[in-house]
Amino acid sequence: MNDVIGLAPWLIGIPLIGAAILLLGGKATDRWGHWLGVAASAASGVIGFILMFRMIGTPAEERSVDHHLWTWLSAGGLDVDLGLRLDPLSLVFVMLVTFVGTLIHVYSVAYMDHDPHRRRFFAYLNLFVAAMLTLVLADSYLLLFVGWEGVGLASYLLIGFWDTGRPSARENAVAAKKAFVMNRIGDMGLIAAMALLFAGTGALDFATTLSDDTLGSLSEGTATAIGLCLLLAACGKSAQFPLQAWLGDAMAGPTPVSALIHAATMVTAGVYLMVRSGPILEAAPTAQLVVVIVGAVTLLFGAVVGTAKDDIKKALAASTMSQIGYMMLAAGLGPAGYAFAIFHLLTHGFFKAGLFLGAGSVMHAMGDQTDMRRFGGLSRFLPITWITMGLGWLAILGIPPFSGFWSKDGIIEAAFIPVEGQPWRAWVFGTVAVLGAGITAFYMTRLFFMTFGGRRPRWTENQHPHEGSPLMWWPLVFLGVGSAALGLVLGVGGTFVTWLEPVVGHAEHHEPVLPVPVIITSTLVVVVLGALLAFRMYAMSLVPEEAPRGSFLTRAARRDLYQDAANETLVLKPAHGVARLLQVGDRDVVDRGWSLLPQVLSWFGAVFRKAQSGYVRSYAAGMAGGVLVIAVVAWLVVGLGGAQ
Amino acid sequence: MDITNYVVLAAVLFAIGATTVLLRRNAIVVFMGVELMLNATNLAFVTFARMHGDLTGQVLAFFVMVVAAAEVVVGLAIIVTIFRTRRSASVDDVNLLRG
């Protein structure tokens, strides 16, 4: 391991240099810039593969390596070192980010072919890859934060990529800003967590802060506070309740961005943070419970929203939210869930990236139409997209042996494991997880058949759908194969769980409250029921081109269950009120108070000025009168005093 | 003779002078009022010097006379200058230094 560790910084360095060349090179790099972007991402991927193979050849207990790079800053007793941590967990992310990232780079070459700013797009993509790798390879919370902010920046730049020259330019810019601002709320949580951690332990690197000795010295209250702050950070980045409202709007970005950043990698950073900080959460059972609750709520929330969306990308965004809810739920379950959280993250990265790129391919074919009510019958015209999205569809449904089955089923089983003293937990969260699987089956089947199924196409006029160039469909094939086979390869015999064991620890085997075969069977039954219902509603019968009014729940789900309205009422309005109050207070109280002082002074001046009449006789009278007054007073005081 | 009479005379003279200064507009007359007030003080000085058998008061009276002579010279010069520019000897016409 140690002979190749010197390559690790280049994982980050190469895409960073790529981004720098593309951004600084300007128009000179327009002609070949996109290929440089692809090459930088691919080079990172090759380094990732080399490290991965070396790590597989290393004994399990030696797989976690901290690679010190340099002392970041040294101030008195405070030394902050900058280093990278290579362990099975970070390498899983490296593989996911570079592999899926490279496929999406390739796809973007074709997808963004006609865009005049394609070079800039690739610069941002490379910047994102570099930042994401910094995030997962950091050996301390501080460096993690650098990557955390870096991916936030890249996400902002790419959501608002089309902020000029389009009818929706303004909305795109607003969406980017919304994502950025909501992410900042989460980042506050991360900063607060770091501050608490530093106050409690005096260090920020994983090796010190996550060791048993250090955590043993923290009180449970501090650990809970740190855990909740970390959860806030994760909620912001991973679009978890109640900070999830930005993800739907983030679909304003180009589709490859939605696939890479807002489905496969960046939004899962919160799950990574939770799993990485596992020991802290285990020291704070309350925080752990909150994590599970947030995961469960988001899981249902996203799934319900997904059932009503007609915009193919927004439906997929809601699905992403829901799937990350599953991961978050698993991350709150302790060592039994960590491995499955990451496993689901990995398989989700593949099938959701595939689904998004498939959606991009459909949009490409239909002239940027995103309304699923205007699709239909596309399976004959886009066979490759149809099959690859079909694989992704089966994977997200959790049909064995597709990849989603192995990871999602693991989470559902883990959710059913009883917690000592809280028997209700297993039943509540287990049921939510199964229910979520059913709704997922419904909305994904709806999406799939509204797009590809149906005998009568509902297209707008003059549409001639056809597959894009091989650059677009080859990545789809790769991701489709991954969606189909990844679970089988890594899931059978618990390969993946064993792989992560050096990081997340060995989970003691606990029996769920229901026998495992019963859980698997009932989940599958619920999934099949959900899928059949959707099939009946959207494949067997005609889909209206205009969305029907729908029930109350449908209308609520269409509007993201009133999340924006709730934010508007609960946060924005009070904040506006406070701002207005402060503005009025500043203008009418503070400013007016200060301008009162000179007013009073000039009023005094006006009064006393009258005394300066310029008439010498009045001055003389004043003097005479003054002398007289002094004389009388003196006579009264001295004279009366003398009389006594 | 009772010394009180001198003091009362001095006070009456001073009051007449002060009243003249305050009430009359003509600069020359105001000036005369000032002279009257100075002489009233001189009388009081001399009276009290006599009463105490001390020469200090009498010496001061001489000082007052000297200062009064100088003051008359400067004051009359000012009045003449003002009269040349303003064609008036009224003190109320000289009110440019007002607030």
Domains of chain B: 3-91 (1.10.287.3510)
Does the pLDDT at position A370 exceed 70? yes
pLDDT at A113: 84
Does the pLDDT at position A550 exceed 80? no
Task: For A582-607, give one letter per residue: b (16+ CB within 10 A) or e.
Answer: eeeeeeeeeeeeeeeeeeeeeeeeee
Contact state of B97 with A614 under an 8 Å Cβ cutoff: yes
Q: For A423-428, what is the mean pLDDT?
A: 85
Q: A15 CB contacts (<8 Å, ≥6 apart)?
A: A40, A41, A44, A126, A127, A129, A130, A133
Chain A: residue nearest B97 by CA? A614
Contact state of B22 with A617 under an 8 Å Cβ cutoff: yes
| CA-based torsion, B42, B47, B48, B53: positive or negative | positive
pLDDT in tens, A291-316: 999 999 999 999 998 888 888 888 99
**Residue pair A248/A314 in contact by the 8 Å Cβ criterion:** yes
C-alpha neighbours within 13 Å on the C-beta side of residue A308: 20
Band (B19; pLDDT cuts 50, 70, 90): very high
Q: What's the rounded Cα separation, in Å, for the pair A531 and A514?
A: 24
| CA-based torsion, A546, A548, A549, A550: positive or negative | negative
pLDDT at A553: 81
Q: For A133-140, what is the mean pLDDT?
A: 91
Chains A, B: CB pairs < 8 Å: 35
**Residue pair A84/A137 in contact by the 8 Å Cβ criterion:** yes
| CA-based torsion, B66, B69, B75, B78: positive or negative | negative
Chain A residues near residue B99 by CB distance under 8 angstroms: 608-614
Chain B residues near residue A616 by CB distance under 8 angstroms: 91, 94-95
pLDDT at B62: 94
Provide the percentage of residues in chain A whose pLDDT is more than 90.
30
Mutate to test the interface with A, among B16, B22, B25, B26 (most CBs of A within 10 A): B22
pLDDT at B8: 94
> Nearest CA to CA, how far is B24 from chain A (Å)?
9
3-class secondary-structure state, position A234: helix
Q: For A545-569, what is the mean pLDDT?
A: 81
Q: What's the rounded Cα separation, in Å, for the pair A200 and A196?
A: 6
Contact state of B98 with A614 under an 8 Å Cβ cutoff: yes
pLDDT in tens, A452-488: 887 777 777 777 787 878 888 888 898 888 888 888 8
Mutate to test the interface with A, among B92, B93, B94, B96 (most CBs of A within 10 A): B92
B98 touches chain A (CB under 8 A): yes
**Residue pair A396/A354 in contact by the 8 Å Cβ criterion:** no
Does the pLDDT at position A500 exceed 70? yes
B92 touches chain A (CB under 8 A): yes
State the helix-helix crossing angle for A403-415 and A335-365, rounded to 10 degrees. Answer: 140
pLDDT in tens, A212-266: 888 878 888 888 999 999 999 999 999 888 888 888 888 888 888 888 888 888 8
B18 touches chain A (CB under 8 A): yes
Provide the percentage of residues in chain B whose pLDDT is more than 90.
67
Q: For A525-541, what is the mean pLDDT?
A: 86
Tell me the sheet residues that pair with B90. B26
Q: Which of B25, B92, B99 sits opposite A612 (nearest CB)?
A: B99
pLDDT at B63: 95
Does the pLDDT at position A326 exceed 80? yes
Band (A126; pLDDT cuts 50, 70, 90): very high
User: Quick one: tokens of A637?
Assistant: 């005081």
User: Quick one: tokens of A413?
Assistant: 């089983």
Contact state of B99 with A615 under an 8 Å Cβ cutoff: no
pLDDT in tens, A39-81: 999 999 999 999 888 888 888 777 888 888 888 888 777 778 8
pLDDT at A641: 61
Mutate to test the interface with B, among A615, A618, A627 (most CBs of B within 10 A): A615
Nearest CA among A491, A530, A528, A490 for reference residue A413: A491
Contacts 24+ apart (CB under 8 A), B62-68: B64/B38, B68/B35, B68/B38
> Nearest CA to CA, how far is A606 from chain B (Å)?
9
Supply the mean pLDDT for chain A.
Answer: 87
Chain A: residue nearest B98 by CA? A614
Q: For B63-87, what is the mean pLDDT?
A: 91
What residues of chain B, 31 to 90, have a C-beta less than 8 Å from chain A?
none
pLDDT at B37: 93
Nearest CA among A314, A312, A403 for reference residue A361: A312
**Residue pair A277/A227 in contact by the 8 Å Cβ criterion:** yes
Chain A residues near residue B91 by CB distance under 8 angstroms: 615-617
Bond preceding residue A242 cis, omega within 30 of 0:
yes
Cα angle value A186/A188/A193 (rounded, 5°): 100
pLDDT at A643: 53
pLDDT at A44: 92
More confident residue, A501 or A126: A126
Contact state of B98 with A612 under an 8 Å Cβ cutoff: yes
pTM, 2 dp: 0.78
Contact state of B98 with A624 under an 8 Å Cβ cutoff: no
pLDDT at A422: 80
> Nearest CA to CA, how far is A623 from chain B (Å)?
11
pLDDT in tens, A252-284: 888 888 888 888 888 999 999 999 998 888 888
Give the distance, in angstroms, between the CA of residue A90 and the centroid of all CA atoms in the same chain. 18
pLDDT at A642: 56
Q: Which of B18, B23, B95 sits opposite A615 (nearest CB)?
A: B95
Lowest mean pLDDT among A548-562, A592-606, A623-637: A548-562
Contact state of A613 with B92 under an 8 Å Cβ cutoff: no
| CA-based torsion, A568, A569, A570, A574: positive or negative | positive
pLDDT at A42: 92
> Nearest CA to CA, how far is B38 from chain A (Å)?
14
**Residue pair A326/A299 in contact by the 8 Å Cβ criterion:** yes
Q: What's the rounded Cα separation, in Å, for the pair A601 and A148?
A: 56
Contact state of B99 with A611 under an 8 Å Cβ cutoff: yes
Contact state of B91 with A612 under an 8 Å Cβ cutoff: no
What residues of chain A, 612 to 631, have a C-beta less than 8 Å from chain B?
612-617, 620-621, 624
